[in-house]
Amino acid sequence: MEKLMQILTEACPGVEFDGQTALIDDGILGSLDIVTIVSEIMEEFDVEITVDDLVPENFNSVQAIMALIEARRG
Amino acid sequence: MAFTSLAFLALVGAALAVYSLAPRRLRWGVLLLASLTFYWLGGRWTVGYVFYTAGTVYLSGLALGRLNRLRREAPPEERKAVAARCKKQRRLVVLWACLLNFGLLYFLKYWNFTAEMLQPLLDRLGAGGQLPVSHLLLPLGISFFMFQSVGYVIDVYRDKYPPERNFGKLLLFVSFFPQVVQGPISRYDQLAPQLYQGRDLDWDQLKYGIQLALWGYFKKLVIADRAAVLVETVMGDPWSYGGAVQAAGVFFYCIQLYGDFSGGIDITRGVAQMFGIQMAENFRRPLFSTSLTDFWRRWHITLGAWMRDYLFYPMSLSKPLGRLGKWTRRHIGGTLGKIIPTSLATFSIYFVIGIWHGANWRYIAYGFWNGALITLALLMAPWFAAWKRALRIDDRAAWYKVFQVLRTCFLVFLGRYLTRAPRLLTALWMIKETFLHPQLSDLWNGTMLTLGLTGFDIGVILAGMAVVVAVEWYQERGGQVRLTLERQSFFVQWLAIAVPLAVLFCLGILRGEYISSGFIYQQF
């Protein structure tokens, strides 16, 4: 989780991630942020995230992003 | 058939009447009949293109659905092998669907431009002969219904939902009459269930729909069609005017385009709402955008969303860009190394959005303009942040927001020179004239009144835009116009329909020397 938080705060400085549950639905993260975050996650966690994973439910909260990483780790 | 014609209003009225009387399970058929009638009256035999697109995506959808089912239902021990086999075939199907549709779109919309570019090259190489030129008419709204339909195929490919088995129903999704000529570019899972449901007409929905459509007609007939006269005069012969009048022409073009496109979409969404159908939002107060990226999140939203989901994401996560990303991280490092691949994908998308508008160097330049500025902003972001810190600028300060909005309006305004001037070189010359030889006195020495509009008409346009800005400002601050109206008495609610109707009648129809010329975006 710490590694993920570091990626998120570096990719989107100024965004308060703690306690957020609608990062996409509320427009806090845009498509550019998502792609930057996903590229970092793939690099740092060595997982493959596909276009099909890029849905709001997977990026609305830090927990959801972590769950996606865990799922892709198999 | 134009939205502004009496025939369209008659079609909507007749469709509503038959729809409400028809049994629920047949109501989608009424919408289909109305849609085909609408397209036939507007484009006659070009309705064949709608059938072509619907046919190709229907068959592709069925094939993809079968392959998806095969993959899902394979016994566990064979699942991997079946999935690998299906993957290849699924890709082939989706590729064919794209080729058949975008290939035709390319031929109809871009071939003549390509031939024009290639001919001198062939002549120079001594190849001889003349490249054939297409004389086919560009069907109304072809880019809109093709993009929407290809989106459906890609979603089925991604197994987001099963394919539609009833050809008539899919044809309705492709051709739904309020949206077929200028969008919004809808998603199947959002729109189709509403089209097929056949819900009863509801008084509130009817009222909201009428209000929204009236708002759209106000923007189109009172503001946009008036502004069009001045724009036509200046852009038809920009060489006769100084830079300030040319700039005024572009300024009024910005007003015309917004009134025309967003007004048309309001009519579309309003008519759909009369049938109880909620269509996707296509504009979210773009006049208040704080950056060019923000502008594209608020302007023509459904095209941007289409590009994001079907082009930007796949491109950003593709293997070549992934490899490039690894290389730039290793060799360049830092923030720059991380964002170069994303910036490349971003530039490509805005470039495609520019070309989407048409085959012309002006649109290519427009795509380049947007792509270059947004990519530059991305690459420069760390420097901008440092400068802001050094200058102690507070992002949340009101004056800074106003500065951001004005800056964005200025950049959009400059971009509009490219899309509206007769030629690219003329656009560049006009920008130069605006800044170097403005002849500012033309703005008050009477020249403005020689451009086809009276002072009263210019006043109507500016006052109309002031009303639009005021309403959007109210919405931007969280106000909901409909809810506010709902809280008023029945009398006031009716006034909200009657007053715009009276304004429309007096300023849009009675003073109707400005012929409504269809919508700008329907030609795309």
Q: What is the DSSP string of B71-93?
A: HHHS-TTTHHHHHHHHHHHHHHH
Whole-number Å distance between alpha carbons of B259 and B521:
12
pLDDT of residue B96: 96
From B358's Cα to the closest Cα of chain A, the distance in A is: 25
Whole-number Å distance between alpha carbons of B188 and B279:
11
Residue with tokens 């269930």: B193
Whole-number Å distance between alpha carbons of B269 and B280:
8
Q: Which of A6, A33, A39, A49 to mutate to test the interface with B (most CBs of B within 10 A)?
A: A39
CB of B109 closer than 8 Å to CB of B100: no
CB of B163 closer than 8 Å to CB of B64: yes
Plot region of B439 (φ>0 → left; ψ -120 to 50 → alpha; else → beta): left
From A50's Cα to the closest Cα of chain B, the distance in A is: 7
pLDDT of residue B343: 84
From B326's Cα to the closest Cα of chain A, the distance in A is: 8
Residue with tokens 């009369």: B274
Pairs across A and B, CB distance < 8 A: 46
Residue with tokens 């390509």: B114
pLDDT of residue B516: 57
Please tell me the number of Cα atoms within 13 Å of B88 on its side-chain side.
Answer: 5
Query: Hey, where are the domains in chain B?
Result: 21-121+132-200, 201-278+433-518, 280-393
Q: What is the pLDDT of residues B392-412, one digit of tens each?
A: 888 888 899 999 999 999 999
- Phi and psi for A64 in degrees, rounded to 5? -65, -40
pLDDT of residue B511: 57
Q: What is the pLDDT of residues B149-174, one digit of tens each?
A: 999 999 999 999 999 999 999 999 99
Residues of A with CB under 8 A from a CB of B: 13-14, 27, 30-32, 34-36, 38-40, 42-43, 49-52, 54
Task: List helix spans (H) across B332-360.
Answer: 334-356
Name residue A65's amino acid.
Answer: I
- Cβ contact A36–B312 (<8 Å): no
- Cβ contact B342–A43 (<8 Å): no
Judged against a pLDDT cut of 90, whether residue B28 lies above it is answered with yes
**Higher-confidence position of B158 and A11:** B158
Domains and CATH numbers, chain A: 20-73 (1.10.1200.10)
Q: What is the pLDDT of residues B94-134, one digit of tens each?
A: 999 999 999 999 998 888 888 888 888 888 887 777 888 88
User: For B342, which of A32, A49, A51 is closest by C-beta distance?
Assistant: A32
Q: Model confidence at B140, in pLDDT bands (50, 70, 90)?
A: confident
* DSSP letters spanning B206-225: HHHHHHHHHHHHIIIIIIIH
Buried b (16+ CB within 10 A) or exposed e, B4-21: beeebeebbeebbebbee
pLDDT of residue B512: 54
Q: Model confidence at B501, in pLDDT bands (50, 70, 90)?
A: confident
Percent of chain B with pLDDT over 70: 96
- Cβ contact A39–B326 (<8 Å): no
Q: What is the pLDDT of residues B316-354, one digit of tens each?
A: 888 888 888 888 877 887 777 777 888 888 888 888 888
- Cβ contact A31–B312 (<8 Å): yes
> Which residues of B are less than 8 Å from A72 in CB distance?
none
- Cβ contact B345–A54 (<8 Å): no
pLDDT of residue B488: 82
pLDDT of residue B346: 86
User: For B325, which of A14, A39, A49 is closest by C-beta distance?
Assistant: A39
Among B271-275, B317-321, B353-357, B446-450, the range of highest mean pLDDT? B271-275
Q: Prior bond to B76 cis, omega within 30? A: no
**Higher-confidence position of B385 and B209:** B209
Q: What is the pLDDT of residues B196-215, one digit of tens each?
A: 998 999 988 998 899 899 99
Please tell me the number of Cα atoms within 13 Å of B426 on its side-chain side.
Answer: 18
Q: Model confidence at B500, in pLDDT bands (50, 70, 90)?
A: confident
Judged against a pLDDT cut of 70, whether residue A24 lies above it is answered with yes
Plot region of B229 (φ>0 → left; ψ -120 to 50 → alpha; else → beta): alpha
Among A12-16, A55-59, B59-63, the range of highest mean pLDDT? B59-63
> Which residues of A are less than 8 Å from B293 in CB distance?
30, 32
pLDDT of residue B254: 96
- Cβ contact B346–A40 (<8 Å): no
Question: How far is the CA of B114 from the CAs of B245, B357, B419, in angstroms?
Answer: 34, 15, 19
From B349's Cα to the closest Cα of chain A, the distance in A is: 12
| Average predicted confidence (pLDDT) for chain B | 89
The continuous run of DSSP H or E covering B482 comes out as helix B481-486
- Phi and psi for B478 in degrees, rounded to 5? 95, 0
pLDDT of residue B513: 55
Judged against a pLDDT cut of 60, whether residue B89 lies above it is answered with yes
Q: Which of B71, B308, B335, B348 to mutate to test the interface with A (most CBs of A within 10 A)?
A: B308
- Cβ contact A36–B338 (<8 Å): yes
Q: Model confidence at B524, in pLDDT bands (50, 70, 90)?
A: low
